[in-house]
Amino acid sequence: MSDFQNSNWARPEYSRDYRETADRIIPERQTLLRIAASFYRHYVRDGRRKRILDLGCGDGILAQTLSGQDGEAHIVLIDGSAEMLASARRRLSGIRNAEYLQITFEEVVSGSFQPAPFDFIASAFAIHHLEMPGKAGLFRAVHSLLNPGGCFLNIDAAESEPFAEWYYALWKEWVLVNEEYTKPPESAADVPAQARAKPENHYDFLQAQMDALIDAGFIDVACHYKYGMFAVFGGRKAGEKA
């Protein structure tokens, strides 16, 4: 499993650079977030107060998106980066019922993070930093943290054979087309190749990750949306909602 303290994400400047460029380098990022919001409205929100966990919250954009669907939900945001948590606090400064904890995925997997159960657990662009055994361990931990009937949704990058080479090309094409409109001072066309080469990124096959969800005990496992490398997928814990 990746060691967060030795990763680039422990460096404040690295986190800042990501926040400033995320919408320019992640294809259809806003669409992916809207899909998460729609999923929450259709399968989680039911008029009762919900507990939400945002895994690897980054700058809080996913938590902000979900809070916009349910202002009464209690949202726990966790991240291994103090810089990211500080940014999330700023983004969510007007949102009630938010809790911020500096917790790594390693701590979640080890069982040292043991809050009350959650009704919905979600993550965006974070879990790919774990190698496949780490992902499987995290999925098992997530399953244990959910209430019966609770859902898990992951927005992340994943490779798929035999299309991996095309997916990286599609990613680059998206960046270049986007730059025709945004006119940034520097091009991010090299980002897909750089991301692929970084040892901290583990874009495991989507099917392998979905199989790991099933092995962890999830039911109704499905991919709800996919744009090349980027997918929205997840599952549900068996049982009736409380």
Q: Is the pLDDT of residue 8 over 70?
A: no
Asked: is 4-237 a CATH 3.40.50.150 domain? The reply is yes
* For residues 92-102, average pLDDT: 93
pLDDT value of residue 15: 44
pLDDT exceeds 90 at position 16: no
Q: Return all residues near 170 (Cβ < 8 A) that are at least 6 apart.
A: 27, 227, 228, 229
**105 Cβ contact partners less than 8 Å away, ≥ 6 residues apart:** 1, 2, 4, 55, 56, 80, 126, 127, 129, 130, 134, 138
Tell whether the model's pLDDT for residue 92 goes beyond 90: yes
Number of residues written out for the chain: 242
- Picking from 1-10, 91-100, 127-136, which range would have the lowest pLDDT averaged per residue? 1-10
The domain limits of the chain are 4-237
Tokens linked to 60: 């809080």
What local confidence, expressed as pLDDT, does residue 241 receive? 78
pLDDT tens-place string over residues 154-209: 999 999 889 999 999 999 999 999 999 889 899 999 999 999 999 999 999 999 99
pLDDT at 226: 96
Q: What is the pLDDT of residues 36-86, one digit of tens each?
A: 999 999 999 999 999 999 999 999 999 999 999 999 999 999 999 999 999
Average pLDDT of the residues of the chain: 91
Q: Please give the single-letter amino acid code of residue 225.
A: Y
